[in-house]
Every structure is written in C-alpha cells, then in structure tokens.
Structure 1
C-alpha cells in the first residue's frame, strides 16, 4: 500500500536529519541499504494473530553515498507491507491491511513530515 499526500515524497533531506527524526518515530535504518538506496522501517506486530506489518520510508542518494554523514536523500512514497514467512514482505495493492495499522501509519507519517519541515526552516 502506498501512502499518498504525506508531504514526504520527492523531498530531499540530509541523511543524518532523517536518521534522527525518523528514529524518534521508531522508523529505523537497518541493513536494508546500499550506497545509493536506503529504507527506514517500523514493525507492527499484532499480538492476537501474530501478523507482522512494516511501514517503510524509502529514498535514494542524490548527493553522496548513503553510508556517509553528508548524503542527501530524496524520499519516495512511503509504503506499508505485510510479512509472509518465509517469503518476505509484500507491498501489493491487493493486500488487506488492518484499519488501525493504516491509521497509525498515516499519523506517524504526518508527524514525521511536520517535524522534518520544522527542522529545515
């Protein structure tokens, strides 16, 4: 599922700012990066069903390398995916997502967008 109208898509930010702000919302940069692409993930796990979902904010370097403290990252549309063991995460439009996960994700993305806008004024 892609999130439209978040205010994040196509914006360019310094990687250290993204790491700080997204980290405050538990969107963490793990091992899913290379020198040009990066993603920040937040895991949601439903206790009763054991289903796992990931909110992902992705981007790519328009200046510098992702592993440098001086990279500039252009963000893509945030996405929500469901994890299927052992195959991985599916982000397809035919996936069905719990309403509370979608609402929580949208709320997080709005807060992230606002905080990034304030930090770059």
Structure 2
C-alpha cells in the first residue's frame, strides 16, 4: 500500500543526514542498498500468526554512490507491506491493513519527513 501525501515523496537529500534521521526513528537500512538505491524498513509485529508489517521508505541516487557514502538520494512514495512467512512482503492494493496501522504508518513517515525538510537540497 502506498503511503501518500506525507511530504517525503520526491525529497532530495544527502545520504548521511538521511541515514541519521531515518535511524533516529527506528527505520533500518541494514543490507537493503546497492550502489544506486536505498531502502529503510520499520518493522511492526503482529498478533496474527506468521505476519509482520513493514513501513518502507525507498530512494535512489541522483548523484554519487551509496557504497561510497557520497550519494544524493531522491526519495519515493513510502509503502506499507505485509510479510507472510516464509513467502515475503506484499504491498498490493488487495491487502487489508488495520486502520490503526495505516494511521501509525502515516504518522511515522510524516515525522521523518518533517525532520528531513531541514536537509532538503
């Protein structure tokens, strides 16, 4: 599910402050990157058996290199996904997400966007 109108879409920001601000809000980049893309995940447990939710903020390098740490990243529309163990994460519009989870996701992404605003390029 796309989490729209959060203020994070199309923001351009240097990688280092982006890493810091997303980490401050418990979004983890870990190994989810390559030379041109980054992905930050926020994990939300569920009482449902074998289900975990993820809020995902993604971006791609418009200049520089993620591996070297000198990238300038353009952010994309965040996603809310549902992980079905052991099959993977689904983001499709056919997925059902609890309303309180959708609101929580919007609030978390908006908080990140508010802090990122001071670092926009």
Matched residues in 1 for 2:74 and 2:119: separation? 16
- Larger strand proportion of the pair: 1
Task: Name the residue aligned to 2:43.
Answer: 43
Matched residues in 1 for 2:34 and 2:120: separation? 25
Secondary structure of the corresponding residue to residue 114 of structure 2? helix
- Report 1:1-121 matches (<5 A): 1-46=1-46, 48-50=47-49, 51-120=51-120
| RMSD across aligned positions (CA) | 1.4
| Greater RCO (CA < 8 Å, at least 6 residues apart) | 2
TM-score by length of 1: 0.93
Q: Where in structure 1 do 4 or more consecutive aligned residues deviate above 6 Å?
A: none
Matched residues in 1 for 2:37 and 2:61: separation? 6
**Farther off after superposition, 110-119 or 79-88:** 110-119
Instruction: In structure 2, list runs of 5 or more residues that go unmatched.
Output: none
Instruction: In structure 1, list runs of 5 or more residues that go unmatched.
Output: none
Matched residues in 2 for 1:4 and 1:106: separation? 8
TM-score by length of 2: 0.93
